[in-house]
Amino acid sequence: MKLLHIDSSILGDASVSRAISAAIVASLKAAHPGIAVTYRDLGATPIPHLSGAYLAGQSADVKHDQALQEDVALGGQALAEFLDADIVVVGAPMYNFAVPSQLKAWIDRILVAGKTFRYTASGAEGLVHGKRVILAVSRGGIYEGTAAAAVEHQESWLKAVLGFIGVTDVEVIRAEGIAYGPEHREKALKAAQDQAAGLKAA
């Protein structure tokens, strides 16, 4: 079994989403001894955002310079890691109502026509099936079940994107209101870590 662990927070050790994703991975490693883990830290080593040169470089007719070769190879590696994983754990903090741009850049490398989705006469069809995805979500405010949910484009967007490519097994472990003060932050993080510890193996 293979697990892909993605972190996208820019806050390093001070990150709540990183603490949650680490707890999720620890729980899964305990449940699946011998599981192979691949780790990608998008905060420390970002994947470049999409460029016109990158999109053009997907064609065999385009001559690649070294920079473009490296970019295309990186995109292919990110996609291969995702497709190869049985379980994907994504640390996703909220920045200004949405995901970090670093995470968006990674998403742009795994949403690839002909690889993870395709268009048919009846519309788009996801091509990724049988993959378990767990989102480690953190946000400063409280959105779940409140009027603020209308401007939450983090968790809802990730679920929509994953659903588009066929991933329907998506679990969410979230810590909300972490900007409300140290006590609230600690309580929310502890609840999320406890939820991670109780994850089922399958």
Residue positions forming the annotated binding site: 9, 15-17, 94-97, 138-141
| Amino acid found at 140 | G
Contact 96, 140 (CB under 8 A): no
Please choose, from the candidates 156, 3, 187, 4, the residue with its C-alpha nearest in 3D space to the C-alpha of residue 94: 156
The rounded distance, in Å, linking the Cα atoms of 36 and 85 is: 9
Residues written for the chain: 202
Per DSSP, the three-state class of 3 is strand
The rounded distance, in Å, linking the Cα atoms of 85 and 69 is: 24
Binding region for FMN = 9, 15-17, 94-97, 138-141
Contact 89, 100 (CB under 8 A): no
| Amino acid found at 106 | W
